[in-house]
Structure 1
Amino acid sequence: MHSESNSGRLPVVFIGVLALAAAVGLVVSLRNSPSGPVVVVYSALDEQFSRPILERFTDQTGIRVLAKYDTESTKSVGLTQALLAERARPRCDVFWNNEIVNTLRLSRGSLLQDCDSAVFEQFPAEYRSKSDLWCGFAARARVLLVNTDLVNKDAMPTSIEDLCDPQWKNRVGIAKPLAGTTASHAACLFAVWGEERAKEFFRCLKANAQVLGGNKQVARAVATGALAFGLTDTDDALIELEAGYPVEIVYPDQGEGKLGTLFIPNTIAMIEGAPHKDSAKRLIEYLLSSEVEQTLAAGPSAQIPLRPGESKSDRVESPETVQAMQVDFEEAAENWDVAAQFLRREFAAAD
């Protein structure tokens, strides 16, 4: 699984072209495919990881999956724009997002429907919609990756707020907080901290940190010594750690009265007006199965199962082993318009 590049807002015309191309491609696929049950999925999880899972679903059920994957340039933003463009005539059945903000955008725009499945109830309430419109699974944690050649043990950061410490000015990094997990993190901070404190934090980040194109770039900069530490996702942090670079992963804001570490799930949802509802329900239930969470946990990104009782990878911590940030994702969605307007104004032109 990759981390999002957070490349900011794409030109409206360009996004429209992408959405149209996606729609035309799927229509052609549907017309030219053999008869039999099908399901159309838009997946923001990297094709190299999601395709084998979708192919296994077809092998087990006989339901063919027509998939539209994200691209390196647009990430989940492009898929979300395609879904918005198609709302009058939906072509997609299932949206498999590798974060949560864009799923919540669709939910608030009435583009999702209840798939009427009891499987959602098997997941913790904090990681699923109160009205069963979406469900989270296979999470990543938002962590600090620290270069141990550049940061002494007694100076190790312990909080995301250490990114604002003046002693580290221009030696720490974040991804541009306009899309992906960094945008999800921002929305959660607006919900938990409130608007004013969250704005103060991001203004401080803009002044103190280097703003890079994505979480992967932040992790790479820390590993190579261009940064002392930075905020990224566990999957990108693990790549650098397991490649042998002098880095350490810190799960931030632990301890009594602290914020806790944010865990951001993959999310799965059925699109309102899904053309193949029965097949969509079966795919959703499969993606929320123990088999899939274990597959993703065993993979290179060591994603973290959220289903209670599932075995976790010993390569990463989980909400059961460290203090997790307590956040109402629906409340985060309610704060998103305000957060997004502020972040675009502050960071759209950031390098």
Structure 2
Amino acid sequence: MHVRRRIAAALTAGALVAVLAACGSDSDTASDESGDGSGALTLYSGRSENLVAPLIDRLEDTLGFPIEVVYGGTPEITGKLVEEGASSPADVVFSQDAGALGLLDQAGMLEALPASVTDLVPPYYRAADGTWVATSARARVLVYNDEKVQPQDLPTGIDGLLDPKWKGQIGFAPTNASFQAFVTGLRVSRGEDGARQWLEAFKANEPVAFEGNGPLMEGVDSGQVTLGLTNHYYWYGLAEEKGADNLAVQIHYFQAGDPGALVNIAGTAVLATTDQPEQAQQFVAALLSPESQTYFADETSEYPIVSGVETKHDLRPLAEVGTSDIELAELASLEQTQALLQELGFI
């Protein structure tokens, strides 16, 4: 029997938390009563329970110690950690996005990982100071309804989405951490004025907001909208559920160097507040094991970070995905992104 307890991430007031809490995600939040957590590793997870709980159950058995999980959206989890500060009970954070990890690193809240852990991950997919590592990668893509538009007529970059012919026909999930990471990348690549200009023009084209990437995919597949900005793995999940031959929604990749071609990560780090550093490091290392990497590749349709891991899905090789020119460490300015999105009425 698993003794791991799921706890709801309850946020309180505070300026930063108020900004972060205004933004939702696709995460499911659990709410069981908490008991005595003595000896348990406390994990704050911005990855949704339905995606990662089966893996954490396995790791709990493999590692031999209980894992107590606080689930919530990555923005909420990040805000909770910043608010709690040095009094946080968290040992490990599991984030949906590199920007949140960078923010926590800049706040001095992360503990450096040993080289035996960081060396498992290519340099691009880990913090330069060794405080966090990626666990999987996902590509930003444009999905489209192939009954309404043909591939040759699709834009090669995000500026093509500003064409009036797409007015009211583009779906997006503004409260999702991955969309906010895209906007952060846009700010980094084009500056504040350039990002604002694009967002204002995008808003003028009347995009359709969805509560999450799952509903967005359904909206494109049903023809409610023609296009959608999302992550690649949502297509694979829907294809597995309905059968690829039954889908009208398909994937289109933007050209290399375009802000819309961002390859972001899910990642993990040990909190400086931990009083169980050895167990925390063991958990992080376990997320990089061949078994865990295969889980991410097969069950969540993401790109494994550790080399040599196969997947049952026919993913376009990560080396062939047109990544943007943005360094993941530059995605840490989450607060500024959320403030801009709030100012412009996106969230």
1:235 offset after TM fit, Å? Answer: 2.3
| Matched position secondary structure for 1:340 | helix
Give the whole-Å Cα distance in 2 for the aligned partners of 1:202 and 1:316.
Answer: 30
1:348 offset after TM fit, Å? Answer: 4.3
**Partner of 1:201 in structure 2?**
198
1:165-197 deviation digits (Å, cap 9, x = unpaired): 111111112221x54111111111211222222
1:25 offset after TM fit, Å? Answer: 5.7
**Partner of 1:113 in structure 2?**
111
Give the whole-Å Cα distance in 2 for the aligned partners of 1:342 and 1:46.
Answer: 26
Q: 1:188 to 1:25 in 2, by over 3 A?
A: farther
Asked if the contact 2:98/2:329 (under 8 Å) is kept, the reply is: no
Give the whole-Å Cα distance in 2 for the aligned partners of 1:219 and 1:147.
Answer: 10
**Partner of 1:311 in structure 2?**
310
* Percent of paired sites with the same residue: 23
Asked if the contact 2:134/2:265 (under 8 Å) is kept, the reply is: yes
**Partner of 1:264 in structure 2?**
264
Letter in 1 for 2:74: S
**Partner of 1:166 in structure 2?**
164
Q: 1:313 to 1:64 in 2, by over 3 A?
A: same
1:80-116 deviation digits (Å, cap 9, x = unpaired): 2221232131211000112222222212221111132
Asked if 1:64 is matched to 2:66, the reply is: yes
Q: 1:88 aligns with which of 72, 81, 86?
A: 86
| Matched position secondary structure for 2:103 | helix
Asked if the contact 1:260/1:325 (under 8 Å) is kept, the reply is: yes
Ranges in structure 1 where 5+ consecutive residues have no aligned partner? 1-9, 32-36
Q: 1:29 to 1:141 in 2, by over 3 A?
A: farther
**Partner of 1:214 in structure 2?**
212
Asked if the contact 2:254/2:322 (under 8 Å) is kept, the reply is: no
1:288-329 deviation digits (Å, cap 9, x = unpaired): 222211111111x31111223333454322422322223112
Give the whole-Å Cα distance in 1 for the aligned partners of 2:202 and 2:220.
Answer: 17
1:143 offset after TM fit, Å? Answer: 0.7
Q: Tell me the C-alpha RMSD between the 2 structures.
A: 2.8
**Partner of 1:157 in structure 2?**
155
**Partner of 1:284 in structure 2?**
284
Letter in 2 for 1:326: D
- The aligned runs of 1:139-158 (5 Å cut-off) are 139-158=137-156
Give the whole-Å Cα distance in 2 for the aligned partners of 1:23 and 1:147.
Answer: 37
Asked if the contact 1:297/1:305 (under 8 Å) is kept, the reply is: yes
Give the whole-Å Cα distance in 2 for the aligned partners of 1:186 and 1:345.
Answer: 14
Ranges in structure 2 where 5+ consecutive residues have no aligned partner? 1-10, 22-28
Aligned residue pairs total 322
